[in-house]
């Protein structure tokens, strides 16, 4: 199982299964948030992120189009360990906070319209100028897991 955490060690987490899908996002929001060229986000059900230590602090960060993204940070060193968008049931775990960042690799590159010129993408990973169709790209097992979340959310509501 994959584990990770912040820089000071206060926040530690464990992924209790493989991620659903891993994004490498080259959008301007992600570039600004990370201060870098792109972000690696491992998408996983929120209940499969087990906190081993610490309590990440939610910070709502403005995005383009008047939307907000909730980023969870270590309260002490303020490293961002994961975030979420509109869907509260899926967390976007920052790949670089894993103890072994090489344990996840992008399944897709998105928002390549703002990809920096000096970043060269491998030709065997799908890449999209903006977003993509989940139904077409995710493996069957991940779509099944996604369906399970949506179903439980509906029955709860």
Contact (CB, 8 A) for 94 and 15: no
Does 30 participate in binding Zn ion (rule CB under 5 A)? yes
User: Which stretch in 22-30, 85-93, 132-140, 144-152 sits in contact with Zn ion by CB under 5 A?
Assistant: 22-30
Please, where are the H alpha helices in the chain?
A: 28-34, 134-137, 140-156
Q: How far apart are CA 29 and CA 64, in angstroms?
A: 7
Label residue 106 left, alpha or beta by phi (over 0 means left) and psi (-120 to 50 means alpha): beta
| DSSP secondary structure code for residue 64 in this structure | G
Does 42 participate in binding Zn ion (rule CB under 5 A)? no
**Residue in 34, 69, 76, 134 binding Zn ion, rule: CB under 5 A:** 76
Q: How far apart are CA 131 and CA 98, in angstroms?
A: 25
User: Which stretch in 75-83, 116-124, 137-145, 147-155 sits in contact with Zn ion by CB under 5 A?
Assistant: 75-83
Does 80 participate in binding Zn ion (rule CB under 5 A)? no
Please identify, using beta-carbon distances, which residue of 30 and 43 lies nearer to Zn ion: 30
Does 27 participate in binding Zn ion (rule CB under 5 A)? yes
Q: How many CB atoms lie within 10 A of CB 34?
A: 15
**Residue in 2, 20, 25, 49 binding Zn ion, rule: CB under 5 A:** 25
Q: How far apart are CA 92 and CA 30, in angstroms?
A: 12
- Considering CB under 5 A, how many residues would be counted as binding Zn ion? 9
Please identify, using beta-carbon distances, which residue of 2 and 6 lies nearer to Zn ion: 6
Q: Restricting to residues 88-147, which ones interact with Zn ion according to CB under 5 A?
A: none
Residue numbers at the binding site for Zn ion (CB under 5 A): 6, 8, 10, 25, 27, 30, 74, 76-77
């Amino acid at each position: 199982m994959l584990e990770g955490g912040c820089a000071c060690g206060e926040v530690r987490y464990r992924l209790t299964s493989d991620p659903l899908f891993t994004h490498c996002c080259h959008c301007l929001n992600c570039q600004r948030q990370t201060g870098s060229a792109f972000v690696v986000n491992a998408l996983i059900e929120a209940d499969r992120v087990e906190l081993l230590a610490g309590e990440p602090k939610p910070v709502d960060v403005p995005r383009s189009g008047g939307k907000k993204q909730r980023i969870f940070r270590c309260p002490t060193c303020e490293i961002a360990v994961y975030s979420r968008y509109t869907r509260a049931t899926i967390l976007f775990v920052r790949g670089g906070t894993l103890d072994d960042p090489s344990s996840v690799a992008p399944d897709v590159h998105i928002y390549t319209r703002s990809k920096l010129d000096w970043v060269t993408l491998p030709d065997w990973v799908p890449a999209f100028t903006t977003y993509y169709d989940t139904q077409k790209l995710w493996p069957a097992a991940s779509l099944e897991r996604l369906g399970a979340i949506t179903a439980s959310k509906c029955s709860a509501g």
